[in-house]
Amino acid sequence: MSSEHSGPLPTEIKLHQSSRTLSITFDDNKRFNLTCEYLRVFSPSAEVRTASDQGVTISGKETVNITSIEPMGNYAVRLTFDDGHDSGVFPWELLYELGTNQAANWQSYLDGLEKAGVARNPLPDEPEEKTLTVNVLYFAWIAEKLGRESEPVLLPRGKKDVASLLAQLRKRGDIWERGFDEKNVNITVNKQFASPNTALHENDEVGIVPTVPW
């Protein structure tokens, strides 16, 4: 990644772990106080981007804290969070944008939680269920129409079986609604024929074969 930067540069980055806040001052005299929760759910990591692309909203991070800040050359910092997330590299431009648009970004996040029917944090007696990723293989005309033969798919909280995977894919609309109707496909899980109620586990390989022509 290029180290060139033409925008405002940070002059001070200070972590306040007691309040779970990262304070950043830039050389244009702008100062932002960004909560660790805000930075966690807007992390630029591949994990968070994949979840967002697949309509999964990250939640349960109200009490997350930052444990370390690692400089990445003169263009960014890597933030490590106490929930184990450590793959988010935050360029100066992103930190400045997150500060400038904090109110709008946060409202968008809250709206996304409400739309998904997900609580910002689970109740103490209702621990948050983990997401899981399965590798989906597409065959025949489905692969042709989608332009790809496989992709990782992140399943959100809730029941994790073949039926819930197909329902997740149908939410993408158009071709997905026809191609992933349970009546129109045969499913394998780890190369074994499966039914809609077959449970799925982390890194399972799920094959989807259409049984009806396009």
Element (H, E) at 71: strand 66-72
Per-residue pLDDT, 171: 82
What are the pLDDT digits (tens) for 44-87? 998 888 777 776 778 889 999 999 999 999 999 999 999 999 99
The CA-based dihedral angle spanning residues 195, 197, 200, 206, taken in that order and rounded to the nearest 10 degrees: 30
Q: What phi, psi does 153 have (nearest 5°)?
A: -125, 130
Q: Within the chain, which residues score under 70 in pLDDT? A: 1-5, 55, 122-130, 157-159, 214
**pTM for the complete prediction?**
0.58
pLDDT of residue 2: 44
How distant, in Å, are the alpha carbons of 25, 75, 92, 107, 182 from that of 3? Answer: 20, 5, 10, 32, 49
Question: For the chain, first and last CA: distance in Å?
Answer: 43
Domain definitions of the chain by residue range: 10-116, 132-210
What pLDDT shows up at residue 126?
47
Provide the CATH number for the domain formed by 10-116 in this structure: 3.30.2020.30
CA-CA distance, 209 to 119, in Å (whole number)? 35
d(CA 162, CA 173): 18
The secondary structure of 26-63, three-state, reads ECCCCEEEEEHHHHHHCCCCHHHHHHHHCCCCCCCCCC
pLDDT at 157: 60
Q: Domain 132-210 is in which class?
A: alpha beta
Please report where in the chains the tokens 């780890």 appear, as a residue: 190
Residue 129: predicted pLDDT: 54
Beta strand 185-189 pairing with 76-81: unpaired
